[in-house]
Amino acid sequence: MMPYIPQELITEILARLPVKSLVRFLCVCKEWYALITDTDFIKLHLKSSIETNRDRTLILNEDEFSPPLRYFSAVQFSKDNQFRKTFEIYKPLQNWVISDYCDGLVCLHKGYEKLEVAIWNPLVRKYRKLPIEPIEEPSCFSSAIRFSHLAFGHDPRNDDYKVLRVTEFYMADSMEFEVKVYSMRSNSWKKIDEQWPNKEICCQKLLALNGDVYWLAADRVVQDLESILAFNLATETLRLYETPVPPDDDQFTCLDVLGGFLCYIVNDYLNSDVYLMKKNGVESSWTQIFKIKQHVVCRDFEYFRTLMFSTNGKKVLLEEHQECGHTNLIWYDIEKKRCYRVKNRSFPYVFMVATCIGSLLLLDGDNVIDPRQKKNKGKRKR
Amino acid sequence: MSNTSENPNPSSSSAKMTLKTSDNELFEVEEAVAMKFCTVKQYFEDEKDSDVAARGSTTVIPLPNVHSAVLTMLISYGKKLPQSNAVADNHEEEETKKKERKKYEQGLLKNLMPGELLDLISAANYLDFKEGLEFFNQALADHIQNKSVEYVRKFFGIKNDYEPHEEEKYREEYAWAFEGIECWLIGELKQFMAKTKTLDIAGTLLGIKPALIVASFSVRGLNSLDSNILKPEMIAPGENILAAWINAIGPTGLDSNT
């Protein structure tokens, strides 16, 4: 006799499953379909994925100088911090580039101006193209050089996923900005009219964390003054933070996210210092968590990005970029001050990592059809 | 068969509680373990408040929804959990205990039939045994993770309410999710072969109706070694049973084999 299992228990059990299993179980029965596609369940499942590091996949995004490939290399990460075999993920849109990622969703764009943007869930194989939003040039800036930046993040207050596009216009002495925000809930763009401070964006990417988008900005007037600007996706206002240490001329700084906190890295030829803002939004909580001596990592590394902590928090996974161009994934042991390179011959030569976690978001998007998949259709096994 | 619990740790509380299962078995359990079942804890606390005079006698807490076999397993799992009243161990002892617990958990799951998991979850839910529920829910999720849709339906007793063309549509759209999963039959076979079966002599059964008739072609007579034994020595019901044989030709060379 089958014991009665109440629906809350079924929900509990299903929330512990990886994405592939849940997508398959959509066709068990209509009740399970409704359960799995329910927004509250999707949130619960995502939370559980983040906590248990389930389905954590690193997508190795090749840089724009490599010849375009049809597939991304990806590698999954098991609970005990071991890398599994690399596999291939079909690019939903050929010749598009990864700009940002959040909660299992990846933001892609095409073109220098980043007019065409799409959001993709690689583990569910669905994507959605955003409506194209033109860049409105400010008056008197018709011959300006312009550069667009994209960021993709979650706004917890409105439970919405948003894309921020900041376009800078440079003329000889002055600069202007155009700022637009896209909301997944409303599937529309909106222009932000707030007065933007006269500071250039001086880092490679904008970072979204906990409802804010952060970047490093350099003052146009006072050359060496570097600050961190944060744009809140809910209130749509800017806030300025000071960097933990004022950097010197010959130091190369970058901003990153590590373990859910904002991370500030100062590189020079001898050392790299890593600071973490232990309490989000509190400037005084900047703490130096470790310092890597260059010779420990390798002689000619140019810079690195922090990716994640290991499960016990004692090691940090770094994406190391060498001067010769080669990229490596390295585990750095904070206590022992030693590095362990992740050896994997199938990693591309140069790459940037986009991290995904098991998420059922965007199940209602367009399908990504892998041409190799079509060939296997004939040999379906039961 | 009532289960008397040992008292391995002399420093722990020796207060015991009696639990009665659906099949009227009585279990004496240490208070520390029984308190992990929040339903029991609630019952005990309600009892405490109500009748102070009757506190001298041991209250028997009825568990009408839990069978003795299931309760045995839940109690033995509960004992392996860190006790709330235990003295705090140092780091090394904690690590050793964690490893022991993991080993025990693995052993427990190995010998468990998947159907028993559902009983354990249902009982742990009724008893509000949070750690047990957490563990068995995860074990069940791990078990069904790589299984087919048909297996899951059979396992939970779910009726498929999709039209064939609707289901076919899903299978085509999400073909990638159906790759590399355990075939239903192989799964069942694995479970069957994991358990060894033993034959028990049941003796002679009388009064079975309808009486089975031995097939006309089956051999009869006395066993050549011991005339007390009548042929057929071993028999099972059924005719024209298909057995395995190699490709073109059966063992007898006849067109049909029995």
Q: What is the pLDDT of residues A138-173, one digit of tens each?
A: 777 777 788 889 999 999 999 999 999 998 888 877
Q: Which residue of B has its CA nearest to A374?
A: B175
How far apart are the CA of B137 and the nearest CA of chain A, in angstroms? Answer: 5
pLDDT of residue B56: 46
The overall longest dimension of chain B from CA atoms, in Å, is 84
Q: Which residues of B touch A3 (CB under 8 A)?
A: 118-119, 121-122
pLDDT of residue B238: 79
Q: Which of A10, A17, A20, A33 to mutate to test the interface with B (most CBs of B within 10 A)?
A: A20
CATH topology of domain A56-381: Neuraminidase (2.120.10)
pLDDT of residue B10: 42
Helix (H) or strand (E) holding B92: helix B91-110
Backbone torsion region of residue A318, taken as left when φ is above 0, otherwise alpha when ψ lies between -120 and 50, otherwise beta: beta
Contact B145 A29 (CB under 8 A): no
pLDDT of residue B8: 45
pLDDT of residue A145: 83
Q: What is the pLDDT of residues A26-42, one digit of tens each?
A: 999 999 999 999 989 99
Residue A278 has pLDDT above 80, yes or no: yes
The alpha-carbon radius of gyration of chain B (Å, integer) is 27
The shortest CB-CB distance from B173 to any of A18, A32, A367 is to A367
A17 contact B CB<8A? yes
Contact A18 B167 (CB under 8 A): no
The shortest CB-CB distance from B125 to any of A9, A21, A30 is to A9
Task: Quickly count: other Cβ atoms within 10 Å of residue A375's Cβ.
Answer: 9
pLDDT-based confidence at residue A24 (cuts at 50, 70, 90)? very high
Angle between helices A7-14 and B130-144 (to 10 degrees): 60
A9 contact B CB<8A? yes
Contact B149 A24 (CB under 8 A): yes
How far apart are the CA of A67 and the nearest CA of chain B, in angstroms? Answer: 27
Q: Which of B155, B156, B182 to mutate to test the interface with A (most CBs of A within 10 A)?
A: B156
CATH topology of domain B2-84+100-144: Potassium Channel Kv1.1; Chain A (3.30.710)
Residue A275 has pLDDT above 80, yes or no: yes
Window 87-146 of B: residues touching A by CB (8 A cutoff) are 118-119, 121-122, 125, 133, 137-138, 140-141, 144-146
Q: Which residues of A touch B176 (CB under 8 A)?
A: 20, 125, 370, 373
Contact B178 A380 (CB under 8 A): yes
- In degrees and rounded to multiples of 5, residue A242 shows phi and psi of -85, 150
For residues A258 and A66, the model is more confident at A258
pLDDT of residue B188: 60
A174 contact B CB<8A? no
Give the sign of the dihedral formed by CA B212, CA B213, CA B217, CA B222.
positive
B65 contact A CB<8A? no
Peptide bond into B210 cis (omega under 30): yes
Q: What is the pLDDT of residues A78-131, one digit of tens each?
A: 767 778 888 888 888 888 888 888 888 999 888 878 889 999 999 998 999 999
**For the complex shown, is ipTM > 0.85?**
no
Going by C-alpha positions, the residue among B144, B168, B48, B209 that lies closest to residue A380 is: B168
Instruction: Please tell me the distance from the alpha carbon of residue A354 to that of residue A352, in angstroms, as a whole number.
Output: 7
A88 contact B CB<8A? no
Q: Which residue of A has its CA nearest to B157?
A: A2
Residue A1 has pLDDT above 80, yes or no: no
First to last CA, chain A: 28
Which residue ranges does chain B devote to CATH 3.30.710.10? 2-84+100-144
With b meaning 16 or more CB within 10 Å and e meaning fewer, what string describes A104-115? bbbbbbbeeebb
Mean pLDDT of chain A: 84
Tell me the one-letter amino acid at B188: E
The shortest CB-CB distance from A12 to any of B119, B137, B172 is to B137
With contact defined as beta carbons under 8 Å apart, do A230 and A224 qualify?
Answer: no
Going from the first residue of chain B to its last (258 residues), give the mean pLDDT of each consecutive group of 10, the final group possibly shorter: 43 68 84 82 76 56 83 84 66 78 81 82 87 88 89 88 89 86 64 60 75 84 79 80 68 61
Instruction: Please tell me the distance from the alpha carbon of residue A75 to that of residue A299, in angstroms, as a whole number.
Output: 27
Instruction: Please tell me the distance from the alpha carbon of residue B193 to that of residue A189, in angstroms, as a whole number.
Output: 60
Contact A17 B145 (CB under 8 A): yes
Instruction: Please tell me the distance from the alpha carbon of residue A210 to that of residue A154, in angstroms, as a whole number.
Output: 7
B171 contact A CB<8A? yes
Q: What is the pTM of this model?
A: 0.76
The shortest CB-CB distance from A5 to any of B156, B172, B181 is to B156
Q: Which residue of B has its CA nearest to A33?
A: B162
Q: Which of A10, A14, A27 to mutate to test the interface with B (most CBs of B within 10 A)?
A: A27
Q: Which residue of A has its CA nearest to B153?
A: A28
pLDDT of residue B253: 64
B52 contact A CB<8A? no
pLDDT of residue B7: 41
Q: Which long-range contacts (CB under 8 A, 24 or more apart) does A67-73 make?
A: A68/A94, A68/A95, A70/A94, A72/A122, A73/A346, A73/A347, A73/A348, A73/A351
Contact B183 A381 (CB under 8 A): yes
With contact defined as beta carbons under 8 Å apart, do A155 and A149 qualify?
Answer: no
How far apart are the CA of B161 and the nearest CA of chain A, in angstroms? Answer: 6
How far apart are the CA of A123 and the nearest CA of chain B, in angstroms? Answer: 10
pLDDT-based confidence at residue A378 (cuts at 50, 70, 90)? very low
Task: Quickly count: other Cβ atoms within 10 Å of residue B145's Cβ.
Answer: 17
Q: In this prediction, what percent of chain A has a pLDDT beyond 90? A: 21
pLDDT of residue A26: 92
First to last CA, chain B: 46
pLDDT of residue B68: 84
Tokens of B119: 């009983």
The shortest CB-CB distance from A27 to any of B141, B145, B149 is to B149
List of residues 6+ apart from A259 with CB closer than 8 A: A276, A308, A309, A313
